[in-house]
C-alpha cells in the first residue's frame, strides 16, 4: 500500500467514566472508500468528531500524508482538506442553499450559484441554489451538505450514516456519486452499521466494538455473517416468524384526517386514513420529517383536535379526537414516543418515579399516595424482564444509556397490558441484541392479540415486524401494503413520492 492519506495511532477519548475510543489505529488509503463499521455506541461518531477537530483526543497521534497532524478545530481540518457530512445536518434552515454554502466557501453569490449547478450536474447532486433549506426534503439537504463539502476541494470526505435518511433508490444514486468522487481522487470515510451497504461500496472496513478496533478487513471478501460477528461479538439472532392471524376487532381507526399545524416548519397532514386491528402490526415507513411527529402527537393525544374536527380518530370504537392523553390511556392505549428524554421519561427522576408516570393505574397508589413497595416491585420486574442495565430502581433515568432507557420505557408500556400499543422508533439507538429482543417481544404480543402501531425509519425492521406497511410522504399516507407481498423498492417509490407502478423514480 502506498503512503496512507490519514493515519491514526493509539487514539483514545473518554467522556467521564465512558471510554468512547480506546487505542484506535486507522489507516485511510488515497482514493479509497473506507468503512467504519460498528453498532450504535461503538464509538464511530466520536472517532469522526476527533478526526474533524470538533473534539480533541485525550491521547494518541495522527498523521496526514505522513506529516504529524494536530486537529484543534473544524476550520483547521477543512484547511487541510478534510470535509464532513453530518448525520444530523449542520444546515441553517432559515437560510437559502447558496447562503448556507457561502458560510463555508469564499466567493460571490453569483459565482457560487454557478459552481453549485456545475457540481450538481457532474456528480448527480441537483438542488435549487435559491431554495430555503427548511423547504427541502431530507435527501436534498444531504446533497446540499455534500456539495458544501465538495466546494472546499477536500482530499478526505467523512460521511456519518449517510444512508440512514435515504430511500433505497436514492441510496444507489448516492453510491454512484461516491464512486465518481473516489475516481476523481477523493478518499471517503463511510460510517455505517448496515453490512450489505458496506459490502456494496467500500474497499476497506475498520470494525469497532465497545470503543476498540476489532477488525480491519476487505469487506468484499467476507459475508455479512462474518462482519456481524466482528461487529457484535456473536452471531446475529434469527428473527421469529409471525403467525398468520386473521384480523380481529378494530382498535385504532383514523378516517380522512386533515391537520394543519400552527408551526410553519411543521408538516401539514392531509387525508390520513389507517386501521389497526387486534392481533395485527401496522408499520408506518417513511423518512422522518414527512409528518411522523405531527401524526404521532395526534394519535397520542399530545395534539388535540378542535371540536368541529372530531370523529376522525377512534380507539376501541370510541371517538378520541378531542380527548387528552390520560383519557386515551384509560381506554387501554399505551405509547412509546420517539424521544425518550423529555417525552418518554423525565431524566432527573428515578426509574421508580418514571414507572409511576404511566403505570400508576396498576395499583401503585394507595389513597392517592405512592405505594413504594409496589412501585419498586413493578420497576424491578421491568428492569429484569427487559434486561435494563442499571444499578436499580433508584437510578436517575438520565443516567441510563439511550438503549437501556428505551428498553425500560418499552417494557413499562408493555407491562400496562394495553389493547393498543403505539411505538415510535422502537429500536433507535438500541444495540443489535436488545433491538431484536424488543422486536421479538412485539411479535409475541401481537400473537397474543394486541394491536400494535409502529413508526420506524428502518425498512428492514418494518418488514420483520409488520403485517401491513403504509408509507408517509409529505403528510400523506399510502394505501396499506401487505408486507409479505411487497418489495422494499415498492416502499421506496412511495417514500420519494413517485407513482407505485411503472413510473420512473424521480426525486
Partner 1 sequence: MNAIQFILAGMLAAATPFLLAALGELVVERAGVLNLGVEGLMALGAVIAFIIVYHGGGHLIGFVAAGICSALLSLVFAIIALVFRANQVAAGLAIGILGQGLSALFGKSYESLTVKGLPRLALPWFSELPIIGGLFTQDIVVWFSLAGTLAIWAIFTFTKTGLVIRAVGENPKAAHAIGYPVILVRTAAVAFGGMMAGFAGAYAAVVYTPLWADGMIAGRGWIAIALVVFGTWLTGRIFLGACLFGAVSLMGPAAQATGMDVPSQLLSSLPYLVTIIVLGIISADRRLLKLNGVASLGEPFER
Point out which residues bind partner 1 (CB under 8 A).
54, 73-75, 78, 84, 86, 89-95, 99, 102-104, 262-265
Q: What is the nearest approach in angstroms of partner 1 to the Cβ of residue 86? A: 7
The cell for 236 is 446475529
The cell for 113 is 450559484
Q: What is the nearest approach in angstroms of partner 1 to the Cβ of residue 22? A: 22
Q: What is the nearest approach in angstroms of partner 1 to the Cβ of residue 250? A: 36
Q: What is the nearest approach in angstroms of partner 1 to the Cβ of residue 58? A: 16
Q: What is the DSSP letter of 322?
A: T
Q: What is the nearest approach in angstroms of partner 1 to the Cβ of residue 111? A: 13
Q: What is the nearest approach in angstroms of partner 1 to the Cβ of residue 481? A: 35
Q: What is the nearest approach in angstroms of partner 1 to the Cβ of residue 106? A: 9
HEC assignment per residue over 68-89: EECCCCHHHHHHHCEEEECCCC
Between residues 99 and 226, which has the closer beta carbon with respect to partner 1?
Answer: 99
Between residues 90 and 214, which has the closer beta carbon with respect to partner 1?
Answer: 90
Between residues 102 and 309, which has the closer beta carbon with respect to partner 1?
Answer: 102
Q: How far apart are the C-alpha atoms of 459 and 345, rounded to whole Å?
A: 26
Q: What is the nearest approach in angstroms of partner 1 to the Cβ of residue 84? A: 8
Between residues 54 and 362, which has the closer beta carbon with respect to partner 1?
Answer: 54
Between residues 87 and 399, which has the closer beta carbon with respect to partner 1?
Answer: 87
415: left (phi over 0), alpha (psi -120 to 50) or beta: alpha
How far from 243 is each of 104, 369, 382, 485, CA to CA, in Å?
A: 54, 43, 26, 16
DSSP string, 111-130: HHHHHHHHHHHHHT----TT
Q: Nearest-CA neighbor of 115 among 97, 88, 134, 94?
A: 97
Q: What is the nearest approach in angstroms of partner 1 to the Cβ of residue 76? A: 8
What angle do helix axes 372-385 and 402-415 make, rounded to 10 degrees? 120
Residues 339-367 as b/e (b if ≥16 CB within 10 A, e otherwise) read: ebeebbbeeeebbbbbbbebbeeeebeee
Q: Nearest-CA neighbor of 90 among 37, 145, 171?
A: 145
Phi, psi of 477 (to 5 degrees): -110, 135
Between residues 103 and 417, which has the closer beta carbon with respect to partner 1?
Answer: 103
Pairing label, strands 481-482, 468-473? antiparallel
Between residues 100 and 296, which has the closer beta carbon with respect to partner 1?
Answer: 100
Pairing label, strands 33-37, 204-209? parallel
Between residues 91 and 272, which has the closer beta carbon with respect to partner 1?
Answer: 91
Q: Which residue has the cell 409475541?
A: 444
Q: How far apart are the C-alpha atoms of 415 and 378, rounded to whole Å?
A: 9
Residues 6+ away with beta carbon under 8 Å from 304: 321, 322, 323, 324
Q: What is the nearest approach in angstroms of partner 1 to the Cβ of residue 46? A: 14
Between residues 97 and 198, which has the closer beta carbon with respect to partner 1?
Answer: 97
**Cα dihedral sign, 214-218-222-225:** positive
Is 427 within 8 Å of 458 (Cβ atoms)? yes
Between residues 75 and 369, which has the closer beta carbon with respect to partner 1?
Answer: 75
Between residues 89 and 386, which has the closer beta carbon with respect to partner 1?
Answer: 89
Between residues 297 and 388, which has the closer beta carbon with respect to partner 1?
Answer: 297
Q: What is the nearest approach in angstroms of partner 1 to the Cβ of residue 107? A: 10
Helix (H, G, I), strand (E, B) or coil at 288: coil
Q: What is the nearest approach in angstroms of partner 1 to the Cβ of residue 389? A: 27
* DSSP run (H or E) holding 273: strand 269-277
Between residues 104 and 327, which has the closer beta carbon with respect to partner 1?
Answer: 104
Q: What is the nearest approach in angstroms of partner 1 to the Cβ of residue 132? A: 10
Q: How far apart are the C-alpha atoms of 219 and 204, rounded to whole Å?
A: 6
How far from 375 is each of 353, 363, 366, 405, 434, CA to CA, in Å?
A: 8, 9, 11, 18, 24
Amino acid at each position: 500500500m502506498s503512503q496512507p492519506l490519514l493515519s491514526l495511532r493509539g487514539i483514545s477519548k473518554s467522556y467521564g467514566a465512558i471510554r468512547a475510543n480506546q487505542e484506535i489505529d486507522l489507516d485511510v488509503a488515497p482514493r479509497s472508500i473506507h468503512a467504519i463499521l460498528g453498532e450504535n455506541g461503538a464509538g464511530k461518531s466520536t472517532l469522526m468528531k476527533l478526526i474533524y477537530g470538533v473534539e480533541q483526543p485525550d491521547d494518541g497521534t495522527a498523521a496526514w500524508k505522513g506529516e504529524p497532524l494536530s486537529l484543534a478545530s473544524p476550520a483547521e481540518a477543512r484547511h487541510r482538506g478534510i470535509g464532513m457530512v453530518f448525520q444530523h445536518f449542520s444546515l441553517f434552515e432559515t437560510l437559502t442553499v447558496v447562503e448556507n454554502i457561502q458560510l463555508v466557501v469564499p466567493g460571490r453569490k453569483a459565482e457560487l450559484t454557478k459552481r453549485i449547478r456545475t457540481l450538481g450536474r457532474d456528480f448527480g447532486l441537483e438542488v435549487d441554489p435559491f431554495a430555503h433549506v427548511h423547504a427541502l426534503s431530507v435527501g436534498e439537504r444531504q446533497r446540499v451538505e455534500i456539495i458544501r463539502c465538495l466546494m472546499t476541494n477536500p482530499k478526505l470526505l467523512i460521511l456519518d450514516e449517510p444512508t440512514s435518511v435515504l430511500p433505497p433508490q436514492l441510496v444507489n444514486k448516492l453510491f454512484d456519486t461516491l464512486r465518481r468522487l473516489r475516481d476523481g481522487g477523493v478518499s471517503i470515510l463511510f460510517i455505517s452499521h448496515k453490512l450489505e451497504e458496506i459490502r456494496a461500496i467500500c474497499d476497506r472496513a475498520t470494525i469497532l466494538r465497545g470503543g476498540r478496533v476489532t477488525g480491519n478487513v476487505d469487506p468484499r471478501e467476507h459475508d455479512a455473517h462474518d462482519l456481524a460477528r466482528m461487529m457484535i461479538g456473536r452471531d446475529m439472532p434469527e428473527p421469529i416468524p409471525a403467525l398468520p392471524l386473521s384480523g380481529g376487532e378494530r382498535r385504532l381507526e383514523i378516517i380522512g384526517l386533515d391537520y394543519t399545524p400552527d408551526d410553519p416548519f411543521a408538516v401539514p397532514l392531509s387525508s390520513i386514513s389507517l386501521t389497526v386491528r387486534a392481533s395485527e402490526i401496522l408499520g408506518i415507513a417513511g423518512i422522518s420529517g414527512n409528518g411522523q411527529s405531527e401524526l404521532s402527537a395526534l394519535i397520542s393525544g399530545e395534539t388535540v383536535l378542535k371540536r368541529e374536527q372530531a370523529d376522525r380518530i377512534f380507539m376501541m370504537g370510541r371517538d378520541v379526537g378531542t380527548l387528552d392523553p390520560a383519557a386515551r390511556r384509560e381506554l387501554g392505549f399505551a405509547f412509546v414516543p420517539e424521544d425518550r428524554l423529555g417525552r418518554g421519561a423525565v431524566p432527573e427522576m428515578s426509574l421508580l418515579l418514571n414507572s409511576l408516570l404511566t403505570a400508576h393505574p396498576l395499583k401503585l397508589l394507595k389513597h392517592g399516595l405512592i405505594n413504594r413497595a409496589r412501585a419498586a416491585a413493578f420497576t424491578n420486574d421491568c428492569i429484569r424482564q427487559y434486561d435494563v442495565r442499571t444499578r436499580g430502581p433508584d437510578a436517575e433515568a438520565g443516567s441510563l444509556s439511550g438503549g437501556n432507557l428505551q428498553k425500560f420505557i418499552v417494557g413499562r408500556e408493555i407491562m400496562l397490558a394495553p389493547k393498543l400499543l403505539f411505538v415510535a422508533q422502537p429500536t433507535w439507538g438500541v444495540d443489535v441484541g436488545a433491538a431484536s429482543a424488543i422486536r421479538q417481544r412485539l411479535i409475541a404480543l401481537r400473537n397474543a392479540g394486541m394491536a400494535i402501531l409502529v413508526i420506524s425509519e428502518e425498512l428492514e425492521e418494518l418488514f420483520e415486524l409488520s403485517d401491513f406497511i403504509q408509507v408517509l410522504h409529505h403528510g400523506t399516507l399510502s394505501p396499506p401494503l401487505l408486507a409479505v407481498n411487497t418489495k422494499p423498492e415498492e416502499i421506496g417509490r412511495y417514500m420519494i413520492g413517485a407513482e407505485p407502478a411503472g413510473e420512473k423514480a424521480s426525486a
